[in-house]
Amino acid sequence: MSLTLMTYNIRNGGTGRLPAIGRVIAGQAPDVVALQELRGEPALGALTGMRQIVARSWRGQPVGLLVSRRLRVLGAGRVPRPFFHAAAWVRVATPLGPLTLVSAHLFPYWGSVRRAEAGWLAGFLRRQGEGVLLGDLNTLDPWGEHAARLEELPLRYRRRHLDRGKPDVRATALLARRGLVDLFLRCGHGQAWTVPTTGVGGAEFTRLRLDYLWATPGGAARFSDCRVVTGGEAESGSDHYPLVARAA
């Protein structure tokens, strides 16, 4: 049996775009979907036929997860740290064995806060056994060359991605040091950048990879495919493209 995971920032609750978002999700037949920006807590569970789990935020927007009804849920909740946008987790029985899946949306403005949030998430996953962190991490990866792309942004948005004048990769570098595996780096193909889409772009974005799936080593070894979903309604469903990974 296979396992398909997806992460998707649906932008401000998906207002006016929920049917398209539902079709984009259904088109990938995922087993678990990590969702970010669930303003108003849209009923994507009812729309997709999946179970919906939501973690509310005190300051930002809720995040959540959709879980296929073919998977048995072993536990679920909110990661107990003061995240700006919250973080939701679910532990499910999968063809790969029990896995803890975490949906996160890191702080959008300051890299030092993102680094702290990444540390909380890495610590949480370490205590859970095998698992995957999915989400909009609002930060750059430590493997690429980002300076030229950042120069395309207005200064007020560029500053969000800089650390002492250089591309800020502190959050993702911490995840790598803690032993998590970037699934796109391991088995990704095609387009790497996840923002902006052609239909819902904005001045805050240039072509950057902000959405990720990071797995614990045992789980990562089972994944053989990771890609950004483009084309069709993925171009107008949100300002972020979904990211999908498949394991066998």
pTM as predicted: 0.98
* Cα 78 from chain centroid (whole Å): 16
For the cut 90, the answer to whether the pLDDT of residue 201 exceeds it is no
For the cut 80, the answer to whether the pLDDT of residue 1 exceeds it is no
Q: Above pLDDT 70, what percent of the chain?
A: 100
Cβ-based neighbours of 82, under 8 Å, separated by 6 or more: 58
Consecutive H or E run containing 2: none
Residue-level pLDDT at 165: 96
What is the per-residue pLDDT across 124-156, written as a single tens digit (0 to 9) for each?
A: 999 999 999 999 999 999 999 999 999 999 999
For the cut 80, the answer to whether the pLDDT of residue 247 exceeds it is yes
What is the per-residue pLDDT across 207-222, written as a single tens digit (0 to 9) for each?
A: 999 999 999 999 999 9
Residue-level pLDDT at 2: 93
Neighbours of 195 (CB within 10 A): 22
What is the per-residue pLDDT across 171-180, written as a single tens digit (0 to 9) for each?
A: 999 999 999 9
Neighbours of 156 (CB within 10 A): 9
What is the per-residue pLDDT across 40-87, written as a single tens digit (0 to 9) for each?
A: 999 999 999 999 999 999 899 999 999 999 999 999 999 999 999 999
Please say whether the beta carbons of 101 and 77 come within 8 A.
Answer: no
Average pLDDT value for the chain: 97
Q: What is the DSSP secondary structure assignment for residue 205, as one 8-state letter?
A: -
What is the per-residue pLDDT across 218-240, written as a single tens digit (0 to 9) for each?
A: 999 999 999 999 999 999 999 99
